[in-house]
Amino acid sequence: MKKEFRNKKLGIYQNGSSLPRCYWRKCGRKKAPSVLIKCGDCDEKVEIYYDKYGIEINGINASVEWWKGFFDYIFNKSQ
């Protein structure tokens, strides 16, 4: 893993903005593997569960292709 994805402390800054804190969790008996992304300045968070069937972001289930299209639309619209 790259060093910038291992931030686990509040207030780490790069280029004037705080870096998000990322935690990876392996799958358990009843839960899919997940990524927990927390704000670098506060305790706001986004939890992403994923498996071979799709992705769930904060309780919203959709296919991988749908999420790719959604984020592609969002990021390209701002340019």
Taking alpha carbons only, the member of 40, 41, 34 closest to residue 59 is 34
- Position 75 pLDDT exceeds 70: yes
Task: Give pTM, 2 decimals.
Answer: 0.69
What angle is formed at CA 29 by the lines to CA 67 and CA 59, rounded to 5 degrees? Answer: 30
CA–CA distance, 74 with 77 (Å, rounded to integer): 5
Taking alpha carbons only, the member of 77, 27, 69 closest to residue 52 is 27
Characterize 34-54 residue by residue with b for buried, 16 or more Cβ atoms within 10 angstroms of its Cβ, and e for exposed: bbeebebeeeeeeeebbeeee
pLDDT interval class at 2 (50, 70, 90): very low
- Position 7 pLDDT exceeds 80: no
